[in-house]
Amino acid sequence: MLAFIARRLMIAAGVLIAASYIFYLLAASSGDPLEDLRASTQRNREQLVELRTAELQLDVNPALRYFTWAGGAAKCLIGQCDLGEDWRTGQPVTTMLGSAMGSTLQLIGFASIFAIVVGVAVGIVSALRQYTGFDYGVTFAAFLMYSLPSFFVAVLLKQWGAIGFNDFLRDPVIPIPALLVIGAVAGIIVGSALSGSWPRKIAIGGTFGLATAAILGALSATGWFLDPRLGPVVILVFGLGSAYFVTFIAAGLNNKRALYTGLAVAVIGAIAWFPLQEAFRFATVWMVLGVLAGLIAIGMVIGKLAGGPDNRVQMRVGGLTALPVFGLLFVDYLMSWWERYSNSSTIGGRPIATVGSQTPQLAGSGYWVETLDTFTHLILPVTAIVLISLAGYTRYARASLLEVMNLDYIRTARAKGLNERTVVMRHAFRNALIPLATIIPLDIAALIGGAVITETIFGWNGMGRLFVESLRLVNLDPLMGYFLVTGILLLIGNILADILYAVLDPRIRVE
Amino acid sequence: MKLGRSVKGIAIAAVATLTLAACAEESGIVENTSVTAAWNQAFYSFNQNTTNGNATANANILYLTQQSFNYYNDDLELIPNTDFGTYELVSEDPLTVKYTIKDGVTWSDGVAVDAVDMLLHWAALSGNFNQGEAEYDAETGQIIPSDDVYFDTVAIGTGIELVTQTPEIGDDGRSLTLIYDEILVDWETIFTSAGLPAHIIAQRALDIEDAQEAKDAVLAAIQNADGAALKPIADFWNTEFDHVSMPSDPGIVVGNGAYIVTDFVQDQYITLTARTEGYVAGPQPSIETITVRFIPDPLASVQALANGEVDITLPQATTDVLEAAQQLSGVTILNEPESVYEHVDLVFNGEGPFSAAAYGGNEETAKLVRQAFLTALDVNEVIDRLIKPLQPNAEWNQSQIFLPGSPGYDEAIAANGSEAYGQGDADGAAALLEQAGVATPIDVCFLYGSNNTRRVNEYQLYAEQVSQAGFNLVDCGSETWGSLLGSGTYDASLFAWQSTSTAVTASEATFRSNGGNNFTGYNNPAVDALYDELKVTFDADRQREILIEVETILWDDAYGITVFQFPGITIHNSDLGNIKPSPLSPQFFWNYWEWTAPADAE
């Protein structure tokens, strides 16, 4: 294995060096760094041209100029990176890359987690309900999203998700016909995802749809959208629901010890609401993370204490249940700031933002306001990326699970009388994840360098924007910095995918 | 759920910090008024006079934070700002100009603005103390630190370097007298401000605490040409004002203008707050805070306007942007063309169809061919099809020298004879060619930026127009057109000049026989002689007469044809009042003190 990794790294380094040379030549010939001066009527144009030519060494052929850049970049190996600077702003490329990576990781991090979790879940359900209305619907929607150009999705999201939603917030009453439509759609989605007979589908789907419409109607009537809050009761109800769901997926509802562990975590979460109202006032990032870690620890301890022959399963259920419970507590407290945030003079009742990563003049207003502000700025670009990458994950998850479900060992598992949950979750699902695990690292690496359009349209200053802006100005040093980072990430992603495959699937040897 | 009293208290305090605004004591500033503008590039330097910092993204912000002796209004007239100071032409030969800062004008830290600031500004801009050539690091492109004094100035060539004697200080240290080695009729736009605070630079560069002592040190260093003291001052001036986020040193943001930078987040926005104390250096603004958000995508800035995130934007004009803006309610769209104008130039040197050399040195034949070409072009078709959709009131720009709307333009186009061209008169053009007695079709290699869609469309229209008169336009479009200018590889070129001022002699570099921007090989002794006269003519009326004479000769020689100004669209929230876009930098910012906005309800 070590020899394999070493060999791969050597090859990767060679590829990187060769590619950087080609990239440098391409970038250098992509435009004219003197273009703005050529059409200028400034009296000292000639002097400016001379100065810039000297500064950028434009009189040296790019084929040779590359080596001055490579010399600086090579110093990275001895820890003294010199990637040059943006000639316009004089900012070192290393700092630019740092800040661009920071904002890209924030965007891509949220988007990837969301896309993977939802994409895999939807893919699995649609595989289990192969050739049903749900499956066809998901396939249709996935391909629709996949084929939409991202600039189009982005502009539509801004129009409806931000401008439209903010207009709605001025008088947040959902009209009755809209409620009925939303209820019907929700009912159809749930109904079609269920297994079993038609009456069962209609009954459950219909109930769900009606409930959705009724709850939305009640929320709209009480002005909840302007001052949302969950409260301990709702947190308890949703927490108990999550406990059931997590137990069902991870252990099976027959495992009573696991179920009780989950339920206990939900109850503790609801009780924790009261002290947290005081504690959260002094929140920092670390404190919030501490609360999360604490809840997970409590869940695992309860699982451990519940005893029984296999308390690892219970610990898992306890820990996993803590996640949604923490989410509920966090969102609930965040909501308590919503009205104040939304009505502040800088926001002016239009909370969802279309551009940038923060509202001017909000910095220093405390953890909750800043977090809310980050979320209102993140929601649209994240949605845009999720909508597009969701399709891929859904398709991969579906195809891979279908393939596994048709294998002999699944038939064996069924034949020996295992229930369907165990067959799917324990035997099929895990193996179905193997191909996904090899796609994800590459996908994320590609996204980091490739969210160009989304970043540009949403004014999000990440790697993609860095690339576009530098290319526009034929700003070679930042361009090469971008190439170096995304190139290395892609190569690492590639190696990681190979190694992961070997680790997950013992049949694969990487020698 | 009811919140406890203490929670509420904290909440109120937090909300207050969101909206807290400095109390405006003096009249003029209206509390809780704010304007958010969108700009396509981030601010990055508090010093716009270095080769790095010289960009509109910086100039706009610095226009709000630094005052100057004069500014351009939206009619492109240069207006003196006597609140800041006065300047007078003491003598024409030698050219002597005296600048006096008005008593009571202060930097935002309370220190007086005086002649030492101006002296340092001169020392920096002129590069007079620069020793040796700057050497740039081969890897980073940065100036290599050396023992030499080097101000990395962008102004060399503008005329300020011709002030080689150290200027005299007078009037209790408030005035500075510049004596130029040559006569420069554009003296009004060469030296226009007090530059950066000298005391701030010296305090940091020379490690002095007291502001007055710091000023004295700058004065001594410059008057004694003390390289040891000037070196750290120059180094500080070159690099220490470059910031991409809020500088930790409050001295960097010190300015003498109406606003001061109070918040600056990298790649996101910069916020300026009106000075409440001690600002007398210009008209009082009424807006309390101005925030400039950096939004590169034109459509994104329009949607941000729709969502109330910005109040005013000047997006790159495209039909998408205009249509999006037209659908919004409560916004005002202002059409003001940019100071960039498209023009077709014909090449005089070489062996091309427009050069005399092609006809055995017969100037007359070449001129007839040029006139025929320009007669065959139809600028109105181009404007109707490509520009009017963006700017319904677009008109043909008929002057090679005056920007439309600037003083002198109307007079110039009445006299310059331009109306003979550009009307798509194929028959007239054919007649001219017949008179010239040259064989048709004539191949014309036409250079333009092939990566620019609008220019590709223009090329196609022109090709069609001139083909009827007997010209065959050959596609010499290139993505690297800029580096091909003046290379002699083409016969006609299409590109745009960008004006940055209305300087009288700005056109000289283009039309003089050895001018730096003369890419066509145009050589007319009469034009050169007129420019010689212009360079020593201080009388504005005579200046204008000379320029109109030059124009007339240019059109008669069929130098080329100007086509249109780039359309510009300023879109703003209708709540804002008195927005008057100007074609020159700082565009719509120029009259910030006249802006009005409703106060935020709170």
ipTM of the complex: 0.85
**Cross-strand pairs, B99:** B87, B176
Q: Which of A87, A365, A459 sits opposite B17 (nearest CB)?
A: A365
Q: Give one DSSP letter per residue of B385-454, joined into a string.
A: IIITTT-TT------SSSPTTSTTHHHHHHHS-GGGSSB--HHHHHHHHHHHT--SPEEEEEE-BTT-HH
User: Is residue B571 classed as helix, strand or coil in its secondary structure?
Assistant: strand
Nearest partner of B115 among B172, B188, B49, judged by Cα: B172
Which residue from B minimizes the CA distance to A67? Answer: B139
Quick check: helix, strand or coil at residue B330?
coil
pLDDT category at B143 given cuts 50, 70, 90 is low
Residues within 8 A of A (CB atoms), B 511-550 only: 516-517
> In this predicted structure, what is the pLDDT of residue A88?
79
How high is the pLDDT of residue B23? 38
Peptide bond connecting B586 to the previous residue in cis, omega within 30 degrees of 0 = yes
d(CA A231, CA A186): 24
Beta-carbon separation of B483 and A87 below 8 A: no
- Angle between the A176-193 and A198-221 helix axes, to the nearest 10 degrees? 150
CB B177 within 8 A of CB B163: no
Q: Which of A57, A163, A122, A206 is nearest to A392 (CA)?
A: A122
Q: For residue B255, which amino acid is it?
A: G
Q: Do A457 and B495 touch (CB under 8 A)?
A: no
pLDDT tens-place values along chain A, 511 residues long: 788 888 888 999 999 999 999 999 999 888 888 877 877 777 777 778 888 888 888 888 888 889 988 888 888 888 778 888 888 787 889 888 988 998 899 899 899 999 999 999 999 989 988 888 889 988 998 888 888 888 888 999 999 999 999 988 888 888 889 999 999 999 988 888 887 788 888 899 999 999 999 999 998 888 888 889 888 999 999 999 999 999 988 888 888 889 999 999 999 999 999 999 999 988 888 999 999 999 999 999 998 888 777 788 889 999 999 999 999 999 999 999 998 888 888 888 889 999 888 888 876 778 899 999 999 999 999 999 998 888 889 999 999 999 999 999 999 999 999 888 888 888 898 888 888 888 888 888 888 877 888 888 898 888 988 898 888 888 899 999 999 999 998 888 888 888 888 887 777 766 5
pTM (predicted TM-score): 0.86
Tell me, what's the pLDDT at B3? 36
Q: What is d(CA A489, CA A445) in angstroms, rounded to the nearest whole number?
A: 6
Between A324 and B26, name the one with better pLDDT.
A324
- H helix or E strand, kind and range, residue B41: none
Per CB-CB distance under 8 Å, the chain B contacts of A90 are: 44-45, 52, 142, 239, 242
B138 interface with A at CB cutoff 8 Å: yes
Q: How are the residues of chain A apportioned to helix, strand and coil, as percentages rounded to the nearest 5?
A: 80, 0, 20
Whether residues B271 and A465 touch (CB distance < 8 A) is answered with no
CATH of B67-194+197-240, one of 3.90.76.10, 3.30.70.120, 3.30.43.10, 2.40.33.10: 3.90.76.10
Contacts of B449 by beta carbon, 8 Å cutoff, 6+ apart: B455, B477, B478, B479, B481, B482, B495
Cα–Cα distance measured from residue A268 to residue A122, given in angstroms and rounded to the nearest whole number:
30
Provide the β-strand partners of residue B89: B97
**Burial class of residue B490 (count of CB atoms within 10 Å of its CB; 0-12, 13-18, 19+):** buried
- The pLDDT of residue B26: 46
Residues 463-502 of B with CB under 8 A from A: 479-480, 482-483, 485, 495-500
Suggest the residue from A37, A43, A60, A377 to mutate for an interface test with chain B (most B CBs closer than 10 A): A43
Contacts B307 to A, Cβ<8 Å: 158, 162-163, 166, 350, 352-354
> Which of A32, A360, A456 is facing B36, going by the closest CB pair?
A360
Residue A362 Cα, gap to closest chain B Cα (Å): 6
Backbone phi, psi, residue B274, to 5°: -65, 140
**Residue B146: predicted pLDDT:** 62
Q: Which of A361, A373, A379, A454 to mutate to test the interface with B (most CBs of B within 10 A)?
A: A361
Q: Is the per-residue pLDDT at B493 higher than 60?
A: yes
Residue in chain B closest to A164 (alpha carbons) equals B307
DSSP string, A41-87: --TTHHHHHHHHHHHHTTTS-HHHHHHHHHHHHHGGGGT-----B-T
Q: How many domains does chain A have?
A: 1
Under the banding of pLDDT at 50, 70 and 90, the label for residue B306 is: very high
Cβ burial of B349 (10 Å; 0-12, 13-18, 19+) is middle
Mean pLDDT value of segment B295-320: 90
Nearest CA in chain B to A477: B140
Residue spans of beta strands (DSSP E) within A367-431: none
pLDDT tens by residue, B278-291: 899 999 999 999 99
Question: Looking at the domain assignment, is residue A394 inside a domain?
Answer: yes
The predicted pLDDT at position A31 comes to: 81
Phi-psi region of A223 (alpha: psi -120 to 50; beta: other; left: phi over 0): left
Tokens of A111: 């988007």
Of B84, B529, B568, residue with least CA distance to B312 = B568
Asked if B141 lies within 8 A of A155 by C-beta distance, the reply is no
Please answer whether residues A306 and A249 qualify as being in contact, where contact means their C-beta atoms are separated by less than 8 angstroms.
Answer: no
Chain B touched by A336 (CB under 8 Å): yes
Identify the pLDDT of residue B5. Answer: 39
Helix (H/G/I), strand (E/B), else coil: A409: helix
Which residue is closest to B300 within chain A, CA to CA? A457
Mutate to test the interface with A, among B262, B267, B299 (most CBs of A within 10 A): B267
**What's residue B134's pLDDT?**
61
A345 close contact with B: CB closer than 8 A: yes
The DSSP-derived string for B137-187 is -TTT-PBPP-SS----BS-TTSSGGG--SPPEEETTTTEEEEE-SS--TTG
DSSP-derived secondary structure letter, B383: I
Which residues neighbour B528 within 8 Å (Cβ) at sequence distance 6 or greater?
B512, B513
CB contact under 8 A, B497 and A41: yes
Burial B267-286 (b: 16+ CB within 10 A, else e): bbbbbbbbbeebbbbbeebb
Q: What are the two backbone dihedrals, phi and then psi, of residue A338, each rounded to the nearest 5 degrees?
A: -55, -50
- A152: domain CATH number is 1.10.3720.10
A chain contacts of residue B136, beta-carbon cutoff 8 Å: 54-55, 57
- Which has more pLDDT, B3 or B273? B273
Q: How far apart are CA A482 and CA A94, in angstroms?
A: 10
**Do the domain assignments include residue A12?**
no
Rg (CA), chain B: 27
Q: Is the pLDDT of residue B227 over 60?
A: yes
Q: Is A229 on the interface with B (CB under 8 A)?
A: yes
Contact B51 A43 (CB under 8 A): no
- Position A173 scores a pLDDT of 86
CA distance B340 to B336: 12
Instruction: State how far the Cα of B399 lies from the Cα of B341, in Å rounded to an integer.
Output: 10
Question: What integer pLDDT is reported at residue B147 of this predicted model?
Answer: 67
Q: pLDDT at position B517, please?
A: 83
Mean pLDDT of B1-18: 40
> A360 vs B483: CB contact, 8 Å cut-off?
no
The answer to whether residue A113 sits within a structural domain is yes
289-318 in chain A: CB under 8 A from chain B: none
What is the per-residue pLDDT for A130? 87
Is B265 in Cβ contact with A360 (below 8 Å)?
yes
Tell me phi and psi for residue A189, to 5 degrees.
-60, -50
Structural domain boundaries enclosing A148: 93-171+369-511
Sequence-distant (≥ 6) Cβ neighbours of residue B158 within 8 angstroms: A42, A43, A44, B125, B190
Cross-sheet strand order for the sheet of B492-498: B471-475, B442-447, B492-498, B340-346, B560-565
Contacts of B584 (CB under 8 A, 6+ apart): B72, B76, B339, B499, B500, B501, B502, B590
Q: What is the DSSP letter of B266?
A: T
CA distance A169 to A77: 54
Task: Say what the pLDDT of residue B24 is.
Answer: 36
* B residues 274-293 closer than 8 Å to A (CB): 289, 291, 293
pLDDT in the model for residue A72 = 85
Nearest residue of B to residue A362, measured between CA atoms: B18
Question: What fold is seen in the domain B339-565?
Answer: Dipeptide-binding Protein; domain 3 (3.10.105)
* A393 domain residue, yes or no: yes
With CB atoms and an 8 Å threshold, state whether B309 touches A55.
Answer: no
* Alpha carbon B293 to its chain's center: 20
pLDDT in the model for residue B601: 59
| Residue A332 sits at the chain B interface (C-beta within 8 Å) | no
Interface of A with B in 24-63 (CB under 8 A): 31-32, 34-35, 38-48, 51-52, 54-57
Intervals of CATH 3.90.76.10 along chain B:
67-194+197-240
Would you say the C-alpha torsion A412, A417, A421, A427 has a positive or negative sign?
negative
Domain annotation covers residue A214: no
Task: Give the pairing type, strands B85-91 and B78-80.
Answer: unpaired
The H or E element spanning position B474 is: strand B471-475
Please give, rounded to a whole number of angstroms, the shortest distance from the CA of A293 to a CA of chain B: 26
pLDDT of residue B217: 93
The residue of chain B nearest to residue A346, with distances taken between CA atoms, is B19
Cα A502–A507–A509 angle (5° rounding)? Answer: 50
What are the tokens at B434? 């017949």
B323 has a pLDDT exceeding 80: yes
Give the lowest-confidence range in A386-400, B15-29, B508-522.
B15-29
| Inside any domain, residue A442 | yes
Q: Residue A429 — left, alpha, or beta (φ > 0 → left; ψ -120 to 50 → alpha)? A: alpha
Residue B61 pLDDT level (bands cut at 50, 70, 90): very high
Strand (E) or helix (H) holding B34:
strand B30-39
A494 touches chain B (CB under 8 A): no
Q: Does B602 touch chain A (CB under 8 A)?
A: yes
Contact B254, B202 (CB under 8 A): no
**Contact predicate B432/B368, CB 8 Å:** yes
End-to-end C-alpha distance for chain A, whole angstroms: 6
CB contact under 8 A, B266 and A461: yes
Report which secondary-structure segment, H or E, holds A149.
none
Q: Pull the structure tokens for residue B444.
A: 């014309």
Least confident of A193-207, A291-305, B19-33, B71-85: B19-33
Q: Which residue has the tokens 């709209």?
A: A220
- Assess if residue A291 is contained within a domain: no
User: Is the alpha carbon torsion for A445, A447, A451, A454 positive or negative?
Assistant: negative
- Name the residue of chain B whose CA is nearest to A466's CA: B267
Mean pLDDT of chain B: 87
- How many angstroms separate the CA atoms of B438 and B359, rounded? 9
Identify which of B205, B191, B300 has the alpha carbon closest to the alpha carbon of residue B252: B205
Residue B441: is the preceding peptide bond cis (ω within 30°)?
yes
Q: Do A443 and A495 touch, CB atoms closer than 8 A?
A: no
